[in-house]
Each structure stands twice: as C-alpha cells, then as structure tokens.
C-alpha cells in the first residue's frame, strides 16, 4: 500500500481545520485539489475515512487510525526538520518536553529547567505546557520526547512512571488577611473568593474533585480565567484566591503566599511519560534522572 506523505498531509489538514475549504486555505491549494487527494487516499486504503454528520466532518474508525498514523509521521517530519536546522546552526540536539500546566511556575524554571540546561549546554530545550492528558498523548504521537504530568485522564497505552505526589495549595497576595494566619479553613477560602478555570475547561471536573477533597464542598468562583499564569496574575492583583498543585521539592517565591489548610489537602500523583529508552537522548535521560532525584530529595 503506497500512502503518499503529501496526501496524508492534506488529509490531516482537513481533519485539523474541520473541513475542505479551511484546509485548502491553510495549504494554499484549491478546494478541488484537496478533495481529489482525500478521495485518492480513500481509494488507496479502500475504506471511507471521512463523512459529514450534522454539517461537520467526522472521522470513521478507519479514518481515526489513518489520522493517528499520519499525525505521527508528520510530527516526525517536523522533528527531523527542526533537528537538521539545529545542526546547521550549531545548536546540537533538541529535547521536546511537555509539562502539566500546574508546573508553569518559577520553581520549575529554577529547579528543573535551569540545572538541566546547564548540564546539557549543547541541547536546545523546547518546552510546552498543557493539559496532562493532551501532553501525554503528544509523547505517543512523537511530537514530544518526554512529559512531566499529573496522573489524570492519561490516554490508553501510556506508561506512567510515578515519581511522587503533589499537594493542592491555595495562594493569596501577601497583603491579604488570610496570608497572616497560621492556618485557614476551607470556609475562609470559599468566603474570600476563588479564581478558577472556566467551567468548560478540560481540567474543571478534576479540580472540583480536588476542591472537595480539600474541604471545599460548596464554593463559587469570583472569576473564571483560562491558564494558570493568568489566574496567578489575577490573584496577585487582589481579585481572589487561586489553587494549584505543588510538588514537595518546590521552593516557592513571588508575590503570592501559600496558605496552610487546617486539614489535609487534595493530592495527585505526578510522574513521567516517555517512549522506549532506545529513543532517548543523553539530555532526556539527564532530565528524567534530575526529576527522579528531586522527587526523592
């Protein structure tokens, strides 16, 4: 079976862009050309890959398999292009790292990224923050080399190496009345007002469960904002209290103060997602070893 890479590129664009006309604009092709290549791909596999349902493009079971393989091939092509470009510029190896949004914090830069960058100066670190499940899937799809994530809604087929747990910590500005207390209750946090992700966000169900495990059965958000860093900025501006997961090794600094709950807080497993070790670089092994050492420090 001869599956041409260009036709896989066109097919993936149709799926990613949600239709033939959008894919045509993205690829700078005519819509008829896009339709032709998708039709020829379907002839090659002798199966229907796409169909219209309720005015939208839907993947058939065969289409999902072809799309998954196409995305892996295209990601590998992009990775090769970047690697060759790095070598031409004398930058050495590129290490593509994914991390949960919870780790988008200064301590992660200071205690993880900085030491690894110093230990492997010839490696270009490329870091993407995202939802744990999406980030883990990106490792399976070969668009990332390693992921450091929370163990929540990880895709099937992922090998998750548990490194420890992270505690759910609430933060307030230094001049907030709760920041001066030795301990605070869930009721006080709820009364102060929580800044949360929008109700439609991927992580909402997970965080609501964590809130319940931290004693906040009933609470109302005073502000909903997507992105942890923007929620942190809103808390710094005095707009409410924000919560996120923090591993035990983290050295916290900044304008926000961690609040100590008067009861055990919610926790989540944190760990690594990688492919086989045969595919790992020295820098990747170094990063994994560094995270393991931090977890046991």
Q: Output the domain CATH number for residue 175.
A: 3.40.190.10
The token duo for 262 is: 């008067």
- Are 182 and 252 within one domain? yes
Establish if 87 belongs to a structural domain: no
Model-level pTM greater than 0.75?
no
- Are 25 and 154 within one domain? no
Establish if 84 belongs to a structural domain: no
Q: Output the domain CATH number for residue 35.
A: 1.10.10.10
Average pLDDT over residues 3-21: 88
Q: In this structure, are strands 124-130 and 94-100 parallel, antiparallel, or unpaired?
A: parallel
Establish if 173 belongs to a structural domain: yes
The answer on pLDDT for 41 being more than 80 is yes
| Boundaries of domain holding 126 | 92-163+269-295
Average pLDDT over residues 201-220: 80
- Are 169 and 264 within one domain? yes
The predicted-structure confidence for 222-251, as pLDDT tens digits, reads as follows: 999 988 899 999 999 999 999 999 999 999
High-pLDDT (> 70) share of the chain, %: 94
- Are 147 and 288 within one domain? yes
Establish if 86 belongs to a structural domain: no
Instruction: Give yes or no for a contact between 150 and 269, defined as CB atoms under 8 angstroms apart.
Output: yes
The predicted-structure confidence for 141-159, as pLDDT tens digits, reads as follows: 888 999 999 998 899 889 9
- Are 141 and 264 within one domain? no
- Are 137 and 274 within one domain? yes
User: What pLDDT score does 90 carry?
Assistant: 59
Q: HSE on the CB side for 105, CA within 13 Å?
A: 23
- The pairs formed by 261-265 with CB atoms below 8 angstroms and a separation of 24 or more are 261/170, 261/183, 261/184, 261/185, 261/186, 261/214, 261/215, 262/183, 262/184, 262/185, 263/186, 263/214, 263/215, 265/167, 265/168, 265/169, 265/213, 265/214
- Going by C-alpha positions, the residue among 294, 292, 295, 288 that lies closest to residue 97 is 288
User: What pLDDT score does 248 carry?
Assistant: 93
Establish if 62 belongs to a structural domain: yes
- Are 154 and 275 within one domain? yes
CA distance 152 to 132: 7
Count of domains forming the chain: 3
Instruction: Give yes or no for a contact between 184 and 260, defined as CB atoms under 8 angstroms apart.
Output: yes
């Amino acid at each position: 079976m001869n599956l041409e890479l260009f036709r896989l590129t066109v097919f993936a664009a149709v799926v990613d862009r949600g239709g033939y006309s959008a894919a045509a604009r993205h690829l700078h092709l005519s819509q008829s050309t896009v339709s032709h290549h998708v039709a020829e791909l379907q002839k090659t596999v002798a199966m229907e890959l796409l169909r219209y349902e309720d005015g939208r493009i839907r993947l058939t079971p065969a289409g999902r398999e072809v799309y998954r393989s196409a995305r892996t091939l295209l990601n590998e092509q992009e990775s090769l292009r970047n690697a060759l470009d790095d070598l031409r510029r004398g930058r050495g190896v590129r290490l593509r790292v994914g991390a949960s949004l919870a780790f988008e914090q200064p301590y992660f830069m200071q205690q993880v990224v900085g030491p690894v960058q110093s230990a492997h100066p010839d490696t270009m670190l490329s870091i993407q923050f995202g939802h744990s499940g999406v980030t883990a899937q990106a490792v399976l799809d070969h668009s990332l080399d390693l992921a450091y994530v929370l163990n929540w809604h990880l895709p099937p087929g992922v090998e998750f190496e548990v490194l420890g747990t992270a505690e759910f910590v609430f933060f307030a500005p230094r001049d907030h009345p709760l920041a001066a207390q030795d301990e605070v209750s869930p009721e006080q946090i709820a009364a102060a007002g929580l800044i949360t992700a929008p109700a439609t966000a991927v992580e909402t169900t997970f965080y609501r469960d964590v809130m319940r495990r931290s004693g906040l059965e009933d609470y109302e958000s005073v502000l909903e904002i997507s992105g942890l860093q923007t929620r942190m900025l809103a808390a710094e501006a005095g707009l409410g209290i924000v919560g996120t997961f923090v591993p035990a090794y983290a050295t916290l600094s900044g304008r926000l103060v961690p609040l100590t709950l008067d009861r055990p807080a919610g926790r989540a497993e944190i760990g690594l997602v990688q492919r086989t070790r045969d595919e790992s670089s020295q820098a990747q092994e170094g990063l994994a070893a560094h995270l393991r050492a931090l977890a046991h420090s």
